[in-house]
């Protein structure tokens, strides 16, 4: 069915009429609030008399960075006790000078729906705060997130932060006023610093070409890249489809930053022990379907892999990082539910505890994924220990303990060890290396990196060279000092 020109004109007219009606409704709500405050207090801040998106555009429209101002959103529900924050002329003067103030009332359902629509237009999500009248009024600060150039125009994206809400805004005293002024001043300072950051073109100022910039980005998480280049780097990353690593710090990060990228760009993910896959964030893990590398910091939950299994179906590499110590038994239990797609396993720790691991190794033998082909064990000294009072391995450690762990991984091809020179004695038994190779039939490469120089110790050097020569007949053995 084809539409004639009259039909199209009618459609345009309907759209224009709907937009005018919406705009009229917005102005009516804001004007009603302004009149209410004038009647009660004889004065109020200058409310921006248009939709929220236009308030944001106006706030940051100046070509001079110092003239841009954050937006303060004041949302109340007249069914709750009315705020007293605009009773102070000092606060009103401060807001008029430093903020664009946009106000709203959600006592009517139609107003709430309109607010949701405007919020979605600016932030791509509905207004996120509760309907509970006790939580109102709410003050929300808005600053810019990043800007990108489209068709010779600079388009801005925005981010918001709740400043104060509820009882404190309904209480009038000198302490409340001070708290409010401090909050407003702090957010204003954050917004000013953000504007300076967005205005500073690191790429132009540094003179670096894009190839160099992209090479730098290879060594940064997305979080670090935003800190260095500002959020303006996001459109560039999306345009050139650069693969990135993300440190997942909060739901807010997922909701505000990740939608600016293509989800398939995220190939590596970092999580710390405060992250709970059972909580709401796990519902958002579905966006990480392309992740091939997972880094877990200070995780000890043996049910971890089972919880993550369904989210990371393309996982190839998994790394465990521990600030202090970790038990080899605990690690092995976590690896029992390792996704079968994983081929590379890394363990980075301050101290590796191996007590009586050989007693439970048979139990684990058929449980650890046989898909692992490469394993790195990187044992560095714990930050809480002095350089002279501990070794990286538990005192009861022997080569047999760690060899049993390797032998439980039947398909292993490459073993990579990074150890401190104090632990080198554990790895100087040629016969034990031969037994390990005999039991790990697929093993074809061993790499031993030693932290600290032992070249001055002729006995150690000769022993390592002998091991290298003897093992060379059955496996590629290399040792280096780092």
Given strand 476-481, what is the order of strands in its sheet?
A: 244-247, 266-272, 293-297, 317-321, 344-349, 374-379, 414-420, 445-451, 476-481
For the sheet with 100-105, list strands across it.
100-105, 71-76, 138-150, 153-165
End-to-end CA distance of the chain: 73
pLDDT tens per residue across span 275-308:
655 454 445 666 788 899 999 988 887 676 777 7
What pLDDT does 203 receive?
61
281/275 Cα distance (integer angstroms): 8
Is the pLDDT confidence value at 376 over 50?
yes
Q: In whole angstroms, give the CA distance from residue 233 to residue 226.
A: 7
- Any idea which residue has 């009315």 for tokens? 82
User: Looking at per-residue confidence, does 172 or 52 come out higher?
Assistant: 52
| pLDDT tens, position by position, 420-459 | 887 788 888 888 889 888 888 899 999 999 887 655 567 7
pLDDT digits (tens, 9 = 90+) for 218-273: 888 988 888 777 777 888 888 888 899 988 766 667 777 777 788 889 999 998 87
Residue pLDDT, tens place only, 304-362? 677 777 778 889 999 999 887 787 777 777 787 778 889 999 999 877 776 554 544 44
Count of CB atoms within 10 A of residue 246's CB?
22
170-188 average pLDDT score: 83
Task: Return d(Cα 130, Cα 106) in angstroms, integer.
Answer: 11
Q: Do the Cβ atoms of 397 and 436 come closer than 8 Å?
A: no
In whole angstroms, give the CA distance from residue 132 to residue 137: 10
Q: Which two tokens stand for residue 99?
A: 């903020």
Confidence of residue 389 (pLDDT cuts 50, 70, 90): very low
- State pTM to two decimals: 0.63
* Domains of the chain: residue spans and CATH: 5-199 (3.40.30.10), 208-481 (3.80.10)
- The answer to whether 434 and 464 have CB atoms below 8 angstroms apart is no
Handedness of CA 123, 124, 127, 128 (dihedral sign): negative
User: DSSP assignment of 5-19, as one string?
Assistant: HHHHHHHHHHHHHHH
The per-residue pLDDT for 262 is 85
What is the DSSP-derived secondary structure letter of residue 171? Answer: -
The per-residue b/e assignment along 433-469, b for 16 or more CB within 10 angstroms, e otherwise, is: bbebbeebeebeebbbebbeeeeeeeebeebbeebbe
């Amino acid at each position: 069915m084809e539409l004639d020109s009259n039909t199209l004109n009618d459609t345009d007219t309907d759209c224009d009429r709907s937009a005018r009606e919406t705009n009229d409704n917005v102005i009516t709500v804001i004007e009603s609030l302004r009149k209410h405050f004038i009647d009660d207090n004889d004065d109020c801040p200058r409310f921006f008399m248009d939709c929220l998106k236009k308030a944001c555009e106006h706030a940051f429209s100046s070509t001079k960075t110092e003239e841009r101002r954050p937006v303060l959103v004041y949302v109340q529900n007249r069914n709750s006790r009315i705020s007293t924050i605009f009773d102070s002329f000092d606060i009103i003067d401060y807001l008029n000078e430093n903020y664009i103030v946009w106000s709203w009332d959600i006592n009517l359902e139609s107003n709430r729906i309109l607010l949701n629509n405007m919020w979605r237009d600016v932030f791509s999500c509905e207004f996120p705060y509760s309907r509970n009248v006790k939580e109102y009024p709410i003050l929300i600060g808005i600053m810019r997130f990043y800007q990108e150039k489209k068709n010779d125009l600079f388009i801005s994206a925005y981010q918001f932060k709740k400043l104060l809400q509820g009882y404190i805004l309904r209480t009038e005293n000198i302490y409340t006023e001070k708290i409010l002024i401090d909050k407003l001043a702090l957010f204003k300072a954050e917004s000013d610093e953000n504007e300076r950051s967005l205005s500073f073109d690191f790429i132009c100022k540094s003179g670096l070409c894009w190839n160099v910039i992209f090479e730098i980005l290879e060594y940064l998480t997305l979080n670090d890249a935003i800190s260095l280049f500002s959020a303006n780097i996001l459109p560039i990353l999306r345009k050139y489809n650069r693969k990135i690593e993300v440190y997942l710090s909060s739901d807010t990060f997922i909701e505000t930053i990740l939608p600016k990228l293509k989800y398939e760009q995220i190939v590596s993910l970092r999580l710390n022990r405060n992250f709970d896959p059972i909580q709401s964030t796990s519902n958002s893990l579905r966006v990480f379907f392309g992740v091939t590398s997972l880094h877990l910091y200070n995780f000890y939950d043996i049910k971890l892999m089972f919880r993550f299994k369904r989210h990371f179906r393309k996982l190839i590499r998994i790394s465990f990082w521990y600030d202090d110590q970790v038990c080899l038994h605990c690690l092995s239990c976590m690896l029992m539910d390792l996704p079968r797609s994983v081929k590379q396993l890394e363990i980075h720790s301050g101290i590796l505890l191996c007590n009586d691991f050989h007693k439970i190794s048979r139990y684990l033998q058929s449980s650890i994924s046989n898909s692992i082909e490469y394993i790195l064990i990187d044992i560095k000294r714990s930050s809480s220990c002095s350089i002279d009072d501990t070794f990286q391995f538990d005192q009861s450690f022997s080569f047999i303990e760690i060899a049993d762990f390797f032998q439980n991984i039947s398909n292993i091809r490459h073993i990579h060890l990074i150890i401190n020179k104090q632990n080198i004695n554990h790895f100087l038994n040629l016969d034990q290396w031969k037994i390990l190779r005999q039991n790990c039939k697929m093993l074809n490469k061993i790499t031993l990196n030693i932290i600290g120089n032992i070249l001055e110790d002729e006995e150690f050097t000769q022993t390592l060279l002998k091991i290298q020569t003897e093992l060379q007949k059955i496996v590629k053995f290399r040792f280096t000092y780092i």
